[in-house]
Amino acid sequence: MATLSPPHLDTADALAEQVIAWRRHLHARPELAWEEHGTSGFVAETLAAIGAGAFVITRPTATSVMARLTGRGAGAGRTIALRADMDALPIHEENDVAYRSQVDGKMHACGHDGHTAMLLGVARSLVATRDQWAGEVRFLFQHAEEQSPGGAEEMVQAGVMDGVDAVAGVHLWAGLEYGQIGVLAGPMMAAPDNFFITVRGSGGHAAQPHLCVDPIAIGAQLVTTLQHIVARRVDPLDPAVVTVTYFRGGTTTNVIPDSAELWGTVRTFDPTLRANARTWIEQMTKGVCEAHDATYEFRWLDGYRPVVNDPAVATRLQDVIRREFGDQWLADMRPSMGGEDFSAFQQKAPGAFAFVGAGHAASGIVHPHHHPRFQIDERALSIGVRYLTAAARELLMR
Q: Which of 145, 146, 154, 377 is catalytic?
A: 145
87 in active site? yes
Q: How far is CA 243 from CA 24, 158, 169, 291, 297, in A?
A: 34, 34, 28, 23, 18
Task: Give pLDDT < 70 ranges for the chain.
Answer: 1-10
197, 314: one domain: no
168, HSE (Cβ side, Cα atoms, 13 Å): 33
145 in active site? yes
Domain with 251 in it: what CATH number? 3.30.70.360
215, 125: one domain: no
Are 199 and 218 spatial neighbours (Cβ–Cβ below 8 Å)?
yes
198, 157: one domain: no
82, 204: one domain: no
Helix ranges (H only) for the chain are 12-27, 37-51, 112-128, 151-157, 215-228, 271-291, 311-324, 343-346, 379-396
246, 367: one domain: no
| pLDDT score, position 333 | 94
- Indicate the residue among 282, 301, 320 that finishes a domain: 301
Distance CA 116, CA 44 (A): 11
| pLDDT score, position 94 | 98
Any domain includes 5 = no
Evaluated on CA atoms 314, 383, 70, 76, the torsion sign reads negative
Distance CA 283, CA 288 (A): 9
230, 112: one domain: no
| pLDDT score, position 59 | 98
Identity of residue 18: Q
295, 337: one domain: no
Distance CA 253, CA 259 (A): 15
Identity of residue 266: V
183, 205: one domain: no
| pLDDT score, position 10 | 53
Q: Which of 87, 136, 165, 394 is catalytic?
A: 87
| pLDDT score, position 3 | 38
Print the domain residue range for 224: 191-301
